Chains A and B, each alone.
Chain A
Amino acid sequence: MKTVIEAHNLSKVFNPETIPVRAINGVDLFVEQGEFTALVGPSGSGKTTLLNMLGGLYKPTTGNILINNVDITKLSENQLIEFRLHNIGFVFQSYNLIPVLSAKENVEFIMLLQKISKEKRETRVANLLREVGLSDKMEVRPSQLSGGQQQRVAVARALASKPQFILADEPTANLDSKSATNLLDIMDKLNRDENITFLFSTHDQRVIERARRVITLVDGRIESDVVIETLEAVT
């Protein structure tokens, strides 16, 4: 199995000069290709901060992050943007989409940034939107889509760039349970059928149950790390 994320001794201190907040405190983490992992923990435990660091949106205060053996903590701001574009897929909690673009254009947008040719874009967009069950909503603007549909478009977009893994910070937080289940089904299927790596944070028990590895954060530290299918701790 290929290791896609490798983090050593990660910590993040906000406002070090004024009122320091130690959001993440000495985290070591390995994520292998094909995982379907949930990051759980109470509000304020550091889930968002950790995901943002792994996604190259925050610079850690200490520690290193290796993604596909590239230490992203050493990259410049511009290199990081480029790295994110080609290696990391994001699904945010809500308002994921560019409001003035249709579902199809939102998915296409990321491939355009990657300079992928028009024909490839066209077929890929159609396939991805079909996989998330939105073939009939291609031309629809985000404001005309339900929250669940918007999140599915976001998943399609995250996949479009063919990233190493997909980070999703509480992707179901703003969804009703039916839409949440539907989104989870799609993510689960993509993970099983296409070996797409997902790392998502949540505090929704029903979502946690779908995960195959659950990492629990408390006060910026990993309290437990459990692989569900085998019910075996991996420390």
Chain B
Amino acid sequence: MIFIIAWRNIWRNKSRSGVLIASIITGICAGIILTGIMMGMYGQRQDDAIRNEVSNFQIHTKEFKTDNDPRFEIQNSESVLNIISEYKEVRALSGRVIAHGMILTAGSSAGVKINGVVPQDEANTRGLNAKITEGSYLERDKHNQILVGEKLAHKMQMKIKSRVVLTFEDIHDNVISASFRVCGFFKTTNPSFDETVVYVSKKNLAELLQTKNEVHEIAVLLKNKEDAESVISRTKKQFPDLLVEDWREIAPEIGLMIDMGAGISKVVIVLILFALAFGIINTMLMAMLERTYEIGMMIALGMNKAKLFMLVVLETVMLVMAGTPFGVLFSYLAVSFFYKHGIDLGQYSKGLESFGMSHIIHPQVSLSQYMQILFLVFITALISSLFPARKALKVDPAESIKK
């Protein structure tokens, strides 16, 4: 019966309840769509980082990681590569020879990370072949070919077929200078990557470094990111002497940015909930004020405080929850629509792209995020109901019944 009274009470002042329900629907939509945009934005950034830059995880020697000296190669890298390529979860992997050095043109110079790669492997892991904007992709084992980022090329005024010089130290600490011809420009979604990374053939770089056909880095791309944890722990067990790190450890700044995005959306959601709470409290306090007589009468008849408290809490929670199905439905429709068609943040895109983000966002919200938001709305309703409930308990039956 308390349930019935609470439910019917909601609909006594239809316009007042309607306004509150509308604001709840709006609040839920705002919260869910914002979460969707944030998750879409950062989820995309994460996916981009994995697909275009760091892969799901990478393997180095422990020494290389701290020192970057080309001496610290992965021993028997051929067999390591073979073993990992047999894992059924692996989509692609690439072994890289790496040197840190300078790139020089007639007029300028810049510090770069030189990746010696097998073109096909790099195409499979980073999709590098698809990111050529001018010229052509690397050819296997072809000497003195270099692929540079479009941004670096523009800065240093390189053209296709320009001659550039790379200088770096080999494993015997000799300074090596070698001349290359630019075969193509690439462009990823991350400008700072495009400015600091160049590609040459693996065999070419290995010979210059005088390494023994071993690699410094193995990048592994998985079919599903959900498998990362188990594959990484398996790899660690199998190669205890090597350093196996997931993408977050390789690129902590991206992880940090994603965490920050999630943090910001949490803060905004809390603010939305606060606004809702004030609306709920206001509406319910007004209802209590109007019903002082009735509440006093119920207390006079013998309704105890626990039941009265329950009545108000129930009414508040039901009023709020009456709005949630619509809020969820509308935001689900909006999120699905924009997931398919994307939200184009055209005018802000310059700023976003410098963070390595795409300007077309596909918002996505997981089931658990829906549940989280609904749970938070429920808790907000529960806490908000305490104020009108307290008000109801303070009603003096004899005084309120005097007309």
Contacts and interface: CB of A to CB of B under 8 A. Distances in A.
Contact of A85 (B12, B294, B302, B403): B302
A110 B301 contact: yes
B243 interface: no
Contacts of B299: 81
B161 interface: no
Given A105-B4, A108-B1, A85 B301 contact: yes
Nearest to A167: B300
| Interface band, chain A | 20 to 34
A90 B1 contact: no
A80 B398 CA distance: 13
Interface stretch (B170-178, B268-276, B303-311): B303-311
A82 B8 contact: no
A140 interface: no
Given A57-B398, A98-B294, A90 B8 contact: no
Interface in A86-111: 86, 90, 92-96, 98-101, 105, 108-110
Interface string B1-42: 100110011001000000000000000000000000000000
Contacts of A149: none
A86 B293 contact: no
Contacts of B342: none
Contacts of A109: 1, 301
B12 A113 contact: no
A113 B302 contact: yes
A92 B401 CA distance: 8
Given A48-B402, A94-B403, A101 B304 contact: no
Given A48-B402, A57-B398, A113-B307, A100 B302 contact: no
Contacts of B402: 48
Given A48-B402, A105-B1, A109-B1, A99 B294 contact: yes
A88 to B, nearest CB: 8
B398 A101 contact: no
A162 to B, nearest CB: 12
A216 interface: no
Nearest to A110: B301
A89 B337 CA distance: 61
Contacts of A117: none
B297 A81 contact: no
A135 B4 CA distance: 22
B9 A92 contact: no
B127 interface: no
A55 interface: yes
Nearest to A58: B398
B191 interface: no
Given A84-B300, A98-B5, 20 more contacts: A48-B402, A55-B300, A57-B398, A57-B401, A58-B398, A81-B303, A81-B304, A82-B302, A85-B301, A85-B303, A94-B403, A95-B294, A96-B297, A99-B12, A99-B294, A100-B4, A100-B8, A100-B9, A101-B4, A113-B307
Interface of A: 48, 52, 55, 57-58, 78, 81-82, 84-86, 90, 92-96, 98-101, 105, 108-110, 112-114, 157, 161
10 smallest beta-carbon distances between A and B, as pairs: A85-B302, A100-B8, A57-B398, A84-B302, A52-B398, A112-B1, A81-B304, A57-B397, A58-B398, A81-B302
